Chains A and B, each alone.
Chain A
Amino acid sequence: MVRPTRRWPALALLIALHAAALLAGFLAPYHYAEQDRTRVYAPPTRLRLVDQEGRLHLRPFVFARRPDPERPGGYREDPGQRLALRLLVPGDPYRLFGVIPARLHLFGFDGGERVYLLGSDLYGRDLLSRILYGAAISLFAGLVAAALSLAVGTAVGAAAGYFGGWVDGLLMRLVELFMALPWLYLLLAFRAFLPLEMTPTQAFFLLVGVIGLIGWARPARLVRGIALSARERGYVLAARGFGASHLYLLLRHVLPQTRSVVLTQAAILIPRFILAEVTLSFLGLGVGEPVPSWGILLAELQKVHVLLTRGWFFLPALALVAVTWAYHAAGRAWDDDA
C-alpha cells in the first residue's frame, strides 16, 4: 500500500508562489523594464555576512561591482566598498496588486548602484525582478485560462448530459475532435490567425482566450457523464415533477455534483495552461518584450553564449519546474483524499 501523498508541502509551496506573484511589485527590488546598460549580463551577486578582514556583520551586505579591466564584459567585486541591505526602502514606483500606487520595496541596498541577486540580462535588467513580475503573468495566465475552459467545459458538459438527444450527440462529436488533436498544433493553428503585433495587455487576454477555448473538451466530457447520471436521480425527478425549471435543476442539483471533478481537472489544467503560455511566449507568439513572461525569460537560452556562460538564466526554468511539481502533487493529494 502506497502511503497517501501528504498535501501540505505542495499546497504551502503553491500559496507561497502565488502570493509572491501577487506581491511582485513589493518583493522585486526594481521595475522589470528598468535598464542599466553599464551592467550587462552581470552574474548573481553574493549576499555576504563576513567582510574582507573576517569581521562578522549582522546586517547582510554585498560588495560593489566594477567592470573588470582585464576581462572585457566581466565584473569584479570591490571589497573596499560594502553596500548594506536595508529592509522596506523606497524605490521604483509600481502598482500593488496592479492598482494601488506605491514606492515601498521589501529590500534595497545602500549606495546608488543596482545590485543583481540573481544576475542581469542583455539590457542590465534585474532577473529577480523579472522572474517575480513574470510569475504574475505566467501563473495568472494559467489560472484565468483554466477558469475559462472549466466554465465553458462545465456549461457544455452539463447541457449535453442534461438535455441528451441530438444536442448531446453534436456536442460530443465536437469534444472528440478537440480531444483527438495534438494540443500544441491546435494552439498554434489558432494563434496563426490572430495578429502577430499586439500590446502586451491585448496579447495576454487573447492568449488566455485561445488557451482556455482549446482546453474545454476534457472537462466537458467528464461533467457530461455526471450530468447524465444526475438527471435520473430520484430527487431530481421529484423536483421536476413539482415543476422546477431546467435552469433551476441544472444549477441546484446537477452542478453541485460536478464539484470534485472540476477541482481535479483544475489541478491538471492550470499547470498545463501555465506551460502553454510559457511555450507560446518562448516561441515569440505570446506576450512580447519588455513584459517578462517566463517564456520570454527562457527564450534567452536560445542564444548559445547565454546557454553556455550565463547559467543564471536557468533560474526561471527552476521556478517553472517548482510550480508544475506543486500543482501535480496537490492534484495527487486531492485524488487520494477523494
Chain B
Amino acid sequence: MIGRLVLRRAAAGLLLLLGVSVFGFLLAELVPGDPFDPGRLEGRDPAAIELLRARYGLDRPLPQRYLRWVSLTVRGDLGYSLSFDRPVAEILRVRARNTLLLTGIAVPMAWLLALVAGIWAASRRGRWGRTAFAGATSLLLAVPDLVLALGLLLVAVQSGLLPTGGLRSLDFEALGPLEKARDLAAHLVLPAAALVLSLAPRLARYVQASVAEVLAAPFVDALRAAGIPRRRLLLRYVLPAAGNPLASLVGFSVASLLSASLLVEIVMSWPGLGPALLDAILARDVHLVIGAVLVSTLLLVAGNLIADLLIYALDPRIRSE
C-alpha cells in the first residue's frame, strides 16, 4: 500500500528531474562558445582539432551528448567549477547541507507559530481577535522577503547582539564542542527568523481557514455539548480533522520555501545553495548553475515525498483506499 504510493510519487519526481535535466542541458548547449572553435585555433592542424572534438564527444549528435551527460550526472560527476576551482559536486554537497540545516530549523518553527496563531484566531468568537489576525497577516504578507531580511539585518547590526553573516565565527576551530554549537546557533538565528516570518503568515491563514471550517462541523457541537473542555476539543479532535489539507500544504510550500531561502541566504550571506547559484551566474559558471538547479530540484522532490508520507500518516482515509 504505502510502497505503491511512494513508488508513484517517486516516479513523478523522477519525471520532474528528467524535465529539468533536459532543460538545463539545452540551456548549456545554447550558450555561445566552443572550446575547440576553429576560428580561435587558427594555424593548428585541423585533424588534431577533430581528434580533440572526438575525444570529448563534441562530434556526436545532441541526443547522444545528452545521454552521456546524464550518465555522468547520475554517477555524481556534475563537472568542474571554473570560478571556485573545485568539482561542482563537492561545492554543492556542502551548500545543500547548509540550506537543509537552515530550512530544517525554520520550517518546523514556522509551522509551530502558524498553528498556534491560526488555531487561536479560528477559535476566537469575537470580531476583535479575527480582525487583528487578518490585519497582522495581510501586513506581513505585503512585506517582501527582501525587505524583511534587510529590516532584520538592521535590527541585528544595531543591537550588535547577533552575528550578521556566514555560518561560523572566525575562531570557530578553537572553540570547544559546546561553544561550537552555541556559535552555530547564534549564526542561525537571523536567517531562520527571516525565513520563519516569511513563511508563517501564509501558513497561519491556511490553518485558520481549515480549523474554522472544522469548527463549524456538527460533530464539534456534539463534543461541546458532551462537555469536552475547549483546549482538549481543539487539540485532540479539531486539529486532526483539519490535518489533511494542512499536510498537503507542506508539499505545496516546498517550492516557495526554496525561493524564500535563496533570497534570505543571499542577503544574510548564509553559505547555502542561493549564494552559490548567484555567484555562478555572475561568473558565468555554467556547470555550477546547472548543478545548483538540479540539486534544488532534488530537494524539492524529496520535500514533496516527505509531504506525501505525512498525509499518509495523518489521514486514515488515504490508508484505507
The verdict on A128 contacting chain B, using a C-beta distance below 8 Å, is: no
Evaluate contact between B281 and A308: CB separation under 8 angstroms: no
B65 at the interface (CB under 8 A from A): no
Contact A184 B259, CB 8 Å, known A283-B278, A324-B142: yes
**CA A192 – CA B144 in complex, angstroms?**
23
The answer to whether B277 and A278 touch across the interface, beta carbons within 8 angstroms, is no
Contacts of A328 in B (CB 8 A): 138, 141-142
Contact of B262 with A by CB under 8 A: yes
Contacting B at CB under 8 A, from A185-217, are 185, 188-193, 196
Chain B residues in 8 Å Cβ range of A193:
27-28, 30-31
Q: Are B259 and A182 in contact (CB under 8 A)?
A: yes
Q: Does B91 contact A (CB under 8 A)?
A: no
A182 cross-chain contacts in B, Cβ below 8 A: 255-259, 262, 296, 300
Measured between alpha carbons, how far is A196 from B278 in the docked complex, in Å?
A: 12
Residues of B within 8 A of A321 (CB): 142-144, 147
Expressed in whole angstroms, the minimum distance between the Cβ of A320 and any Cβ of chain B is 6
- Complex Cα distance, B149 from A314, in Å, reads 12
A191 to B267, CA, bound (A): 19
Query: What mask results when residues 273 to 288 of chain A are scored 1 for a CB within 8 Å of chain B, else 0?
Result: 0010011001111000
What per-residue 1/0 map shows which CB atoms of A172-188 lie under 8 Å from chain B?
A: 00001100111111001
Whether, in the assembled complex, A304 has its beta carbon less than 8 Å from a beta carbon of chain B, the answer is yes
Query: A2 touching B130 by the CB < 8 A rule?
Result: yes
Please tell me the size bucket of the interface on B. Answer: 35 or more
Q: Which of A185, A196, A302 contacts B259 (CB 8 A)?
A: A185
CB atoms of A279 and B263 under 8 A apart: yes
A67 to B151, CA, bound (A): 30
- The reply on A307 being an interface residue by CB < 8 A is yes
Name the residue on A nearest B304 (C-beta).
Answer: A180
Query: B76 on the interface (CB 8 Å rule)?
Result: no
| B24 in contact (CB, < 8 A) | yes
> What residues of A have a CB within 8 angstroms of the CB of B266 in the complex?
283
A50-61 near B? 1/0 per residue, CB < 8 Å? 000000000000
Contact A185 B146 (CB under 8 A): no
Q: Are A185 and B144 in contact (CB-based, < 8 A)?
A: no
Q: A180-B300, A317-B150 are in contact. Are A189 and B24 (CB under 8 A)?
A: yes
Which of A's residues lie within 8 Å of B, judged by CB? 2, 176-177, 180-185, 188-193, 196, 275, 278-279, 282-285, 298, 301-302, 304, 307-308, 314, 317, 320-321, 324-325, 328-329, 332
10 A-B pairs closest in CB distance:
A325-B142, A184-B259, A182-B258, A317-B147, A192-B281, A182-B259, A324-B142, A182-B255, A192-B289, A177-B19
7 examples of A-B residue contacts, CB within 8 angstroms: A184-B258, A185-B293, A185-B296, A275-B144, A307-B154, A328-B141, A332-B138
